[in-house]
Every structure is written in C-alpha cells, then in structure tokens.
Amino acid sequence: MPNTPPHLADRLLSWFCAPHLREEVLGDLHERYTLRVAQIGESRARRRYWLDVLAYMRPEFIRRQPEQYPQPTNTTMLRNYLKIAWRNLIREKGYASLNMAGLAVGMAASTLIFLWIQSELTYDRFYSKTDRIFQVYNQDIFSGNPAVWGTTPLPLAPTLKQNYPDVEEAIRYRPTTLLLTANDKKMNVEGAFADPSFLNVFDFALLAGNREKVLTGSNGIVITKSLAEKLFGSSDAIGKTLQLDHTDSFLVTGVLHDLPNNTQFNNISFLLPWTAFAVPGWDSDGWGSNNNYTFVLLKDKINSATANEKIKHVTAEHLKGVVEDVSHRQIFLHPATKWHLYSKQENGQLVDGKIGTVHLFSLIAALILLVAAVNFINLTTARSEKRAKEVGIRKVVGAQKRSLVFQFISESLLLAFFAGLLALLVVLAFIPTFNSLTNKQLSLELGTINFWLVASTFVLFTGLLAGSYPAFFLASFQPGMVVKGAHQSINTVFSLRKGLVITQFTFAIVLIIGTLVINDQIHYAQNRDNGYDQNNLLFMSMTGDMSTHYWSFQQELIHDGAAVSVSKSLGPITNLNSRQWGLSWPGSTKADKDIEFDRFAADELFLKTTGTKLLVGRDINVHEYPTDSTAVLLNETAVKTMHLKNPLGTSIRFDSHDWHVVGVVKDFIFASPYEPINPVVVHGPAGSIPLEWMSIRLNPANSTAKNLEITEQITKKYNPNYPFEYTFADESYKAKFADEQRTGSLISLFTGLTIIISCLGLFGLAAYTAQQRTKEIGVRKVLGATVTNIVGLLTKEFIQLIGIAFVIGAPIGWYVMEKWLQDYSYRIAIGVGVFLLTLSSAIVIVTLTVSFQAIKAALVNPVKSLRSE
C-alpha cells in the first residue's frame, strides 16, 4: 500500500524487539515515517525507515525470554509521561498559552520580589564578624517622651576600648564631603574619617593596599575603584596624590572594590584616617556634643546584653556637671543584623522599620504566586469534561489512579518548566527597570550552581502547587460515571471555580485599596503647606573661598539679574540641621528643659529669600539693630509650647547665653512632612553656629537656564577651585517622599500584575463557560434574546463573584492600610471614595475581560450552534 512503512522492516522489528517496548517503538517509527513522506518523499522515507529499524538492534531493545522481561523502568515511564504531556500541550495551544502566561508572570513577579527581599535581608550581614558588630545609640527622655539617636560623643569610642574588656574594637566614624583634586579633575565626593581598625571590622574587599596600615598614618587616603577610575583613569592609584579642599595633599594608600548596595556605607567613596581629622583640631568635641558615630566589635562569645549592662551609664557619668539632668541618659548596643530592618524609633527603642515592608512584600510575592496557581487550577478543572473520557478509557484498560496522577502532574511540571524559562526572560528584561524603581543593584547569578538549584526548586514547587489539585481531581473520575456523562457534579465544580475566582480578586481588591490609600497619603502630605515658597529657590554650600567673598557674590548676583534675594543660613530650610534642649524662659519649669527644639540660624534676608511668613514682630537684622546679635525668632509651635501670650521681648536662655525674641514666623516644615512640626528657634548670624549655606531666590523674569548660567559664571569668579553645585528646594522637598513613593510604585506594579494574571484566567474561564452554554445561547437567540441579553447573561455571574470578593477584600484592605497609616501623625482618613473607586474599577476590569468572549458567543449563528450540539 502507498504511504505505508516497509512491511518486512516491521516484521523484522517485531521479531527482535522486546514485546513490552514493541508498541511504543512502532508507534514512534510510523509517526516519524509519515512526517518524512511529506517532507522528503516516499522513496527516501522508506530507506530512512530501514535505517531507523536497524538502529534499534541494541541490547536494551532485543527480545529476551518472557520471564526476563522487565517492567518499565522509572526513566521509561517518566519519558512516556512527558511525551504524552507534550502532545496534550501542543494539541491545546490556547489553553497552554494562557496557563503558561499566567504562571510566567506570577513567577517573574515573585522572583523580582524575592531578589529585593534577599537584598534587604543581607543588608550589613555579609561581614565575617557581623554577629559581633554593634552601633552605639543614645537614649534619653525629652518633654516626657523617650528618644533615641545614633550620633555619640567623640570620646566615647576610646573610653569603651580602654576601660571595658568586653570590647575588642571601638571605632569613631564621621561622614564628610570634600573636594578631591587630581591634576585637572575636581569632584565633591562623599566619604568619612575613621579609626585605623575600620577595615578590619568591616572587611570590605580591598583591591590594593595593606588592610592593617592603610588608615594608620595622617596623610593617607583609601578610595574606591570607581573613584580611582574617575580621578586617575584606572584603578591603579596606589601612591598617587590627591588634594583635599585645595589645602592638604594625601597619598592613596588603598583601593577598595566599590561598596555593595546593601550596606549603610554605600554612599562613601573614600576613607581618611582619624588622625587627619584630629590634626586641624576638629576632634575637640567633648561629651556634650553628639556629632560622631561609634561602632563596637565585642570579643568572641561575649553576650551583648551583659555588655550593654556594663556600658549603659558611660555617657551619663561623663556628663555630670555638663548637663543638668542625666538620670535618663543611657547608651546601648544595636546589632549590625538589625541596622537596616529595625531602625524605627519608638518610645526610646529601635523597633520594626523596614522589616514590616519585607514582611508585606513577602506576603505579596506568595499571594501573586498563589493567584497564578489558582489560575492554573481554574482553567484545568474547567477543561475536566474534555479529559473525562480519556481518564475513563485509561481506567477501563487498567490504569491505576497513581499513574494518572503522575501523568497529570507531569503535564503541570512541563508547563511550569516552559513558564519558568519565559519568566527568566521577563526578569532579565525588566530587572534594570526594577533596579531603577527600587534603587537597588539586583542581578541574577546565572553562572552559579546555587542559582540553578534554587531556580529548579522554584519551578518544581510552582508546578506542584499549581498541578497537584487538578491531578487528583482528574484522576478521581469514575469510568461508570464518565460513560453516563455525569462524571462530576456540576454544582461542585462550579462552586470550586467560584471560590477560586473570589480568592484571586479578593487579593486584587486588597492591593487596589492599598495602592489608592498610599497614593492619597503621599498627595495629602505633598499638598501640606510647607511654610515657604519652593519656586525658583535653590541652595548652595559655601565651600572654599565663598565665605570670604559672600557679600560681593551676593551683590553681583542681584546686580546681574540672576537673583532677587540671597541669604545665608545654617543649612537649607528643607533639612533639619540641629536640635537644642535645656531652654528656659519666664514661667518655665525644670521639666520644660527636656523639651527638644529644632535649632536654626540665618541672616537678615532669610525670610525674604525663602518666602517664610513673619506673623508678629520683625526679622533679625544686626546691621540696623546691634542688639540683634542675641535676637531669636520663634515659630508658631514654639510660642504654643512655651505658653507665651506676648512673645515679643521674651528672654530665653540656652547655649549659656540670654536671647530675646524679636519675631514670630509661620510654621515651616524642616523634617518629615508626615510628622507634626516641632518648636523652632532661629537665631541670627552672631550666634556660635556658622552659616555655611546660601539660599538664592532666582529672578522669575528670566528663564531658569539663564539664571543658572549667570550664577555659575559668578561662582567660578569668586570660587574658581570648586565645582558649581546646587540643589533646588522643590527637588530637595520632593526627596522626603521617596520611600513612600517607592513603596507605592511597587504596590501599583504588583497590583497591575495580579490583575493581569487574574484576567488571563478569567478570559479562559469565560471562553469555556461560553463553550459549555453554546446550546443554551442558541435556544435563547431563537426565542428572541438580543446580543445585549446574552452578554449580560454571561457576565452577570462573574460580576456577582467580584461583588463577593469585594465584600471580603474591602475590610481586609481597610484594616491593613489603617495599620500602615498609624506610623504617620499627619495622615488621611480612609474614605468611602476609596472603596467605591475600587469596586467600580474591579467591575470595569472584569466586564472588559469577559465581554470579548461573551460577545463572540452571542454573535454565533444559532442554527450553527444548535446543529453542532
């Protein structure tokens, strides 16, 4: 017969091939022969068929005595399961594509979240001595409220190391920003002064240099690889000279690998020895000043709680006679393992913090994966009728339930494998965007065995999570019931399906509520009156010779039309610079000395330049009023805190001086826009705090580019050795919302992905529902139902499920977001609008998803649908 394999070849194969393999081998060869006939012609196909038959004459295929016939091996069975699984997936391409897309999106989203979580959990935990490293914190009570802060007195570290045997090393650390010059290259760079043992305790990778000696001298500097390349063109920088602030020259004694992103030191690019800080006399601070960080390395096997008890009163003992009340002053050790995740200050303790965000995103990752698995379960059980006859026939010919379960599990695993490959491509494509969004440096370590082991385990887990229930569900069909066409109770199946859809959209609704609340909270804080005018306001640090030429710079900037006002101050109005306690005034009590004030200093043009409103009195002006050398301004909160009815002329004592109030300004936001405004005291340029920042109100009549061009020219004229650097007030203020905006963006992203996954499953379910109700739809159309009636019929059920999901998800979303909002003093109230918008959004999304299939089913000719039945 034409197009049939050679009969003699088949007889030869049947003669030598083991009976238990014969059927499978013949089936494969015949299938291959048919394909070849179409591709290369019958004649060549027949010759290739003979070669294939002869190729099977190998020991594992040769006929043996009946008693020697082995049972199929696990490998053979697995290969058979995978082969059948592959054929089923190819046959149902649409179903497989939907399932694969849902699983791939879920796996990709979960992978990105897990990478972020891994980065957070390893923050400052990769040092060889992590479990023995601690940062010293201060504790005290101010205004009756316990407080904690991380800066410490300069003498603390030497005292701990010399007098307490439990302490192996104690390190002073002082961040700084300096101008580094190498040949013609100049850069303002962030770095730090540190004691010599810093790199022994924090063992960052050193490219070049002796770890024991690089910070021991007084004129050496350690720089990172990227800084070396920027300044010298390569990382080979040992022995080369750098000039700091155009004064002292330092030799490069070490080159560090760029510090990892997951360390609190990731912003520094150089280290200077502490002796370089001491030479100019900068280390003269006493026990009353808290301007440095202190890190401690305990000796091996020393209990941190015991060490805490021994050292907690060190600062208080040295402050007797310096500070009036030290009864509540203590220090304590905060372990490196908790620096990043447990940094929230609450009731004088460091609790929670970013660990809450880690827990939240861990839950989101797990739920996204669960939603993807629910998708798989939904679509698989929806197709149960198509697989029922297959299961029935297999059972009739002797298949065991176990083998059927393995068969369906193999299909799930194969689908999960391809979904995993697709997810890997998605992650690789989107990880740069995700890094930009999270401000991380996440990556996949594709070249390591650990990565592939974890990835394989993840794919296996996902496949089992998604496929286990459908496998047992399908394998449980009874042959007798299948023959009768009632293999499963319709009500039971649909109840399961409804429950799964409700589960998916309950999670989606919670995320939608979270997204809306976070965005509302951010907008609420952004719209808060900050007390000054951000427009056309920029800040510049008075580096180099700028302090000497300030007045000339100011006058020329205004004369050339770049600015309308210039003032100098302790710092930008957008940043909290200093705090002060111990203030006394007429009628104050001893307890009032514990009230903490935000302290600021500025010249007479500060209010005019920043646009801060004067409510009572006048501005400080030492030129017109010589006595203003001891004048101060108070904000509204300070007046209320001090219970002053007539604040003007009130005498206030702090910093060992008597000051008098000349004006009251409107409250302005120094610190967090989410927190209450603290009492503020502002003194003039005659105070002890140097004014090292300029605020410049640009001329609104010019373009910003023109104003900056003029400002840069004048800056280079008076301060030629330093680069022109500035910050706009609106950008600085915007940075205060970065953490919340980052969280909101991530929640929005994963909300969108959850909705996409859910809609993929819903789309498939709508298609199968329409298919199952083909005859009903045809009958309804014959009886006069319109397309609108049919679409409403098919979408109504899904909208009802969304309504149930909303009833469940709305209280959960409200509770979760109320807990989140408790961290903010200045916060929104969750209104009805959030829930109405959530419900309407969910209904619109579901309607759009289901409508396509519903309209498609409604437009089918009823004659065709009834005939097909």
What's the pTM?
0.76
pLDDT per residue over 812-845, tens digit each? 999 999 988 888 888 899 999 999 999 999 999 8
Query: Does residue 481 carry a pLDDT above 90?
Result: no
The pLDDT mean for the chain works out to 84
pLDDT of the residue at 555: 93
Give just the sign of the alpha carbon dihedral 442, 447, 448, 452: positive
pLDDT at 69: 43
Residue 202 has what DSSP assignment? Answer: S
- Most distant CA pair in the chain, distance: 120
pLDDT greater at residue 774 or residue 633: 633
Residue 88: what are its φ and ψ, rounded to 5°? -65, -40
Output the 3-class SS for 652-685: EEECCEEEEEEEEECCCCCCCCCCCCCCEEEECC
pLDDT cut 90: percent of the chain above it: 32
Question: Coil, strand, or helix at residue 861?
Answer: coil
Do β-strands 597-601 and 680-683 pair in parallel, antiparallel, or remain unpaired?
Answer: parallel
Q: For residues 463 and 461, what is the distance between their CA atoms, to the nearest angstrom?
A: 5
What's the count of helices (H) and strands (E) in the chain, helices before strands?
A: 27, 24
Least confident of 477-491, 563-577, 787-801, 837-851: 477-491
Q: Average the pLDDT over 567-578 and give the result.
A: 86
CA-to-CA distance for 726 and 698, rounded, in angstroms? 12
In 195-292, the DSSP E strands lie at 206-208, 220-224, 241-244, 248-256, 270-273
Q: How far apart are CA 458 and CA 822, in angstroms?
A: 36
Please give the pLDDT value at position 331. Answer: 92
Please report which confidence band the pLDDT of residue 171 belongs to, taking 50, 70 and 90 as the band edges.
very high
Per-residue pLDDT band at 376 (split at 50, 70, 90):
confident
Q: Which of 176, 189, 244 is nearest to 692 (CA)?
A: 176
| Mean per-residue pLDDT, 282-309 | 86
User: Is the separation of the CB atoms in 663 and 599 below 8 Å?
Assistant: no
3-state secondary structure of 136: strand
Q: What pLDDT, on a 0 to 100 scale, did the predictor assign at position 784?
A: 76
Is pLDDT above 80 for 618?
yes
DSSP string, 496-539: HHHHHHHHHHHHHHHHHHHHHHHHHHHHHHHTS--SS--TTEEE
> In the predicted model, is pLDDT for residue 37 greater than 80?
yes
Q: Do residues 292 and 214 touch, judged by C-beta distance below 8 A?
A: no
Whether 671 shows a pLDDT value over 90: the answer reads no
pLDDT at 2 exceeding the cut of 80 = no
Q: Looking up tokens 């009958």, which residue turns up? A: 779
pLDDT one-digit tens code per residue, 683-695:
887 666 778 899 9
Q: What is the pLDDT of residue 283?
A: 60
pLDDT grade for 681, boundaries at 50, 70 and 90: very high
For the cut 90, the answer to whether the pLDDT of residue 562 exceeds it is yes
Return the pLDDT at 637.
Answer: 93
Written as six digits, the tokens of 798 are 């899904």
Amino acid of residue 869: E
Phi, psi (degrees; rounded to nearest 5) at 112: -60, -45
pLDDT tens digits for range 260-277? 988 999 999 999 998 887
- Identify the CA nearest to 637 among candidates 656, 615, 606: 615
The pLDDT value given to residue 75: 61
> Which H/E stretch holds residue 37?
helix 19-40
